[in-house]
């Protein structure tokens, strides 16, 4: 057998030590996705065990009253579940790393506010968050709790008619998978009568430019970029990985399953975020 015929050596599987070798001594910008919140009981969109999902687009929401009614009925159920979720070990680890001066801040693609609940101080909610509602006509913003009161008044008995939330499948954007939404009444803006929408960025909608600029600044401030629990399937997150790479910063991705940024990563660790981020907090903080 010639050297040319020898089998190739097996590729080395990255470990936590490889991650530490890249991140130790560096200040970290962090980008998180739905995978960091699965241990809090919020399913992700594209994880290995996730069912197929078709999130509602902005065009569907604003262009079709039936889509709007269907969304608000499902959200009316799902919002109660989101309010009860608690941050997990991964969220708390990032808050500890920030308090210790290792993490400069978190950019999150999630709308669940769990980073703030865990104690992170500098958080850019890239896609907004589930706890506010905005009028598309006059721009008025109201608390989601006020919308809940109005929807409950407009639809007496609806929540009671739906299976208990514990038995309803919840989606990452505070949606709930329920079948019948016929007859559900949707609230309009109390100030102008305009269309109300959750204050989150829908598929097909652009992230506000000032928010994007602030996120780029945060990436620039760090010495490395740590991605936790994101498949980077949409450009709103992938662009920060590309930016970090172009500016010569190492990128570490911790995620179960492939991501669109794997080829750009200095290290890709196939692992859960809760245990990995907890171990990083112990080693780096």
The phi and psi torsions of 130 (rounded to 5 degrees) equal: -75, -10
Q: Which residue among the candidates 127, 129, 148, 199 is catalytic per the annotation?
A: 127
Does the annotation place 265 within a ligand binding site? no
Does the annotation place 250 within a ligand binding site? no
Does the annotation place 47 within a ligand binding site? yes
Does the annotation place 262 within a ligand binding site? no
DSSP state of 188: P
The 3-state DSSP composition of the chain as helix, strand, coil percent (nearest 5) reads 40, 15, 40
Does the annotation place 43 within a ligand binding site? yes
| Residue 235 three-state SS | helix
Contacts of 185 (CB under 8 A, 6+ apart): 151, 154, 155
Does the annotation place 138 within a ligand binding site? yes
Please compute Rg for the chain using Cα positions: 21
Residue with tokens 């994880």: 47
Does the annotation place 180 within a ligand binding site? no
Examine the residue annotation and report whether 115 is marked as an active-site residue of this protein: no
The phi and psi torsions of 147 (rounded to 5 degrees) equal: -65, -40
Does the annotation place 78 within a ligand binding site? no
E-strand ranges in 90-170 read: 103-108, 123-125, 128-135, 141-143, 169-170
Does the annotation place 90 within a ligand binding site? no
Does the annotation place 50 within a ligand binding site? yes
Q: Strands 224-228 and 196-200, how do they pair?
A: unpaired
Binding residues for NAD(+): 33-53, 109-112, 229-231, 255-257, 273
Binding residues for Zn(2+): 135, 138, 189, 192
Binding residues: 33-53, 109-112, 135, 138, 189, 192, 229-231, 255-257, 273
Instruction: Point out the residues that are catalytic.
Output: 127
């Amino acid at each position: 057998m010639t050297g040319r015929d020898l089998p190739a050596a097996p590729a080395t599987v990255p470990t936590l030590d490889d991650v530490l070798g890249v991140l130790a001594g560096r200040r970290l910008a962090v980008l998180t996705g739905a995978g960091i919140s699965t241990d809090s009981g919020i399913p992700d969109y594209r994880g290995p065990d996730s069912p197929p999902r078709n999130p509602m687009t902005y065009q569907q929401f604003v262009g079709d009253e039936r889509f709007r009614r269907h969304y608000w009925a499902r959200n009316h159920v799902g919002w109660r579940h989101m309010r009860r979720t608690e941050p997990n070990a991964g969220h708390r680890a990032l808050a500890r790393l920030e308090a210790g001066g290792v993490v400069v801040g978190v950019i999150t693609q999630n709308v669940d506010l769990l980073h703030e609940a865990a104690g992170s101080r500098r958080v850019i909610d890239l896609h907004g968050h589930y706890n506010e509602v905005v009028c598309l006509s006059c721009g008025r913003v109201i608390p989601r709790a006020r919308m809940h009161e109005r929807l409950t008044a407009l639809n007496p008995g609806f929540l009671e008619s739906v299976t208990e939330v514990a038995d309803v499948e919840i989606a990452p954007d505070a949606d709930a998978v329920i079948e019948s939404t016929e007859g559900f009444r949707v609230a309009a803006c109390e100030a102008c009568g305009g269309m109300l929408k959750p204050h989150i960025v829908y598929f097909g909608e652009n992230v506000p430019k000032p928010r994007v600029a602030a996120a780029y600044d945060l990436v620039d401030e760090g010495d490395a970029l740590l991605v936790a629990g994101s498949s980077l399937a949409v450009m709103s997150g992938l662009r920060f990985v590309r930016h970090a790479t172009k500016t010569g910063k190492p990128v570490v991705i911790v995620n179960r399953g492939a991501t669109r940024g794997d080829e750009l990563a200095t290290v890709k660790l196939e692992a859960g975020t809760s245990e990995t981020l907890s171990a990083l907090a112990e080693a780096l903080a």
